[in-house]
Amino acid sequence: MNKELFTKAISRFLAGVVLVAALLFLPAGTWNYPQAWLVMGILFVPMFIAGIIMLKKNPELLKKRLNAKEEETEQRQVILLSGIMFLAAFISAGLSFRYQWLMLSFSASIIAAIVFLIAYALYAEVLRENTYLSRTIEVQEGQKVIDTGLYGIVRHPMYMVTVLLFLAMPLVLGSLISFAVMLLYIPIIVKRIRNEELVLANGLPGYIEYMEKVKYRLVPFIW
């Protein structure tokens, strides 16, 4: 086992747990926020399991997923906007619970949690199909165009899945206000996709042909 990679991964994981917990429970003013505990469970337990599997089976992919340093100026703007959006979404969810602003029933949160876990399973499938996936926009040495599985349906199945994940999350938290905030992810991810396709079309052989073959970027028959 790569001890350095393990240390980096586990430190990032624990930092994420602490940050999300702080953003949810502090605004809520209580630890007795069941929907927040539900989100913590469905978000971090699968994440921990996936990290262990990647560490053992494909450490290079885990290394790529931990790399968040963008070279593209436009993508750095996307990351900044996404960070602000997440802060606002989590804090508003906690405040909504504290003051009971437009809160959904717990049964609605359970349904949203099921959708979230289905999306998580699709996320794992995308990682299995494409070992070139990185958190940054880049063309890697030896990279090839992937056009099978979900990549034969839309050009960016990873982003399709993250839209499902991020829109389901505020519903699991039971907050319609948080859901409204998270809708901002759609124009943010559209901006990221447009820039990413320019980079791939210019630097990845066969990507232009792939774009002609698979017409839809994010949602089949829509866009």
Q: Tell me the pLDDT tens digit for each residue of 138-177.
A: 565 667 888 888 888 999 998 999 999 999 999 999 999 9
Q: Tell me the pLDDT tens digit for each residue of 4-17.
A: 787 888 888 999 99
Domain count of the chain? 1
pTM, to two decimals: 0.85
Residue 221, domain member (yes or no) = no
Residue 207, domain member (yes or no) = yes
Q: Tell me the pLDDT tens digit for each residue of 52-62.
A: 887 787 777 77
- How many Cα atoms within 13 Å fall on the side-chain side of residue 173? 37
Residue 157, domain member (yes or no) = yes
Residue 222, domain member (yes or no) = no
Residue 220, domain member (yes or no) = no
For residue 147, give its domain range. 3-213
Reference 142, options 219, 213, 203, 196; nearest CA is 203
CATH number assigned to the domain comprising residue 198: 1.20.120.1630
Residue 218, domain member (yes or no) = no
Residue 112, domain member (yes or no) = yes
Question: Can you give the pLDDT at residue 131?
Answer: 67
Residue 78, domain member (yes or no) = yes
